[in-house]
Structure 1
Amino acid sequence: MSTPEERRALFRVVRGEPSDEEVAALTAVLLAAASSASTDSPPTQRDRWSDPVRRMRTPLRPGPGAWRASALPH
């Protein structure tokens, strides 16, 4: 376990005299913001088969292999 001198301060109060409750609230807000920022990940690409746009009818394209292409996402 580290002693108080060995611990690194998360922030420093430069003006005023905050109460213990105010410091605790500020600590909670800063830790929550830091943890939510690190869990953000890039959005994953949706599966085209479950895309609602696919339910809309697209123009029919007659020709060889048209039946195969009619069921595949564009």
Structure 2
Amino acid sequence: MTGDIPREDITIDVRRGNPTEEELAALIAVVSEAYATEAATAVVEEEPCRSAWAVSQRGLRTSLPRVGW
């Protein structure tokens, strides 16, 4: 288990059966490792950088009519 995960009080409610302390310890170890793996691989995708041209680019307008004002 990695040491960079903050420790908090964990509450586990057993709905059925009567697990032993070893079974609960195994459950906590497996879930903690799965959480640590998921947290390590969860990365926010960087948004693509927009150039100054793309930021200042405006929508194109239609051409002016030739008949005048």
TM-score interval, smaller chain: 0.3 to 0.5
Structure richer in helix, relative to its length: 1
TM normalised by structure 1 equals 0.42
Q: Which has the higher contact order (CA 8 A, sep 6+)?
A: 2
